[in-house]
């Protein structure tokens, strides 16, 4: 595992790929909200931090960390909102 300048942690898989570690503040509810927001077409997902901040009443720095994780791991968790 290694950490980038902003504190984001990444791991290297056995296949040699990097993947972002899930921050402790990220919940399935956050990921589902972002999936639904994307599906709604209300906003470009690069601007979704404000929506996360408002919906969950959290600081923008946390909203951005949640959004960053969602963007980096979208293929891994995409099925959460479809179940």
Tens-place pLDDT, residues 60-83: 999 999 999 999 888 665 554 444
Tens-place pLDDT, residues 13-39: 556 665 677 889 999 999 999 999 999
Question: Residue 18: beta bridge partners?
Answer: 12
Sheet holding 18-20, edge to edge: 2-3, 9-12, 18-20
CA distances from 46 to 1, 12, 16, 56, 63 (A): 26, 26, 28, 18, 12
Phi, psi of 61 (to 5 degrees): -60, -40
**Secondary structure class of 5 (helix, strand, coil):** coil
């Amino acid at each position: 595992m290694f950490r980038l300048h902003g504190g984001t942690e990444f791991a290297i898989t056995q296949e040699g790929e990097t993947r972002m570690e899930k921050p402790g503040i990220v919940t399935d509810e956050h990921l589902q909200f972002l999936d639904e927001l994307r599906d709604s077409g209300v906003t470009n997902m690069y601007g979704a931090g404000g929506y996360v901040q408002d919906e969950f009443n959290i600081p923008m720095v946390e909203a951005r960390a949640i959004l960053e994780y969602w963007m980096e791991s979208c293929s891994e968790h995409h099925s959460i909102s479809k179940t």
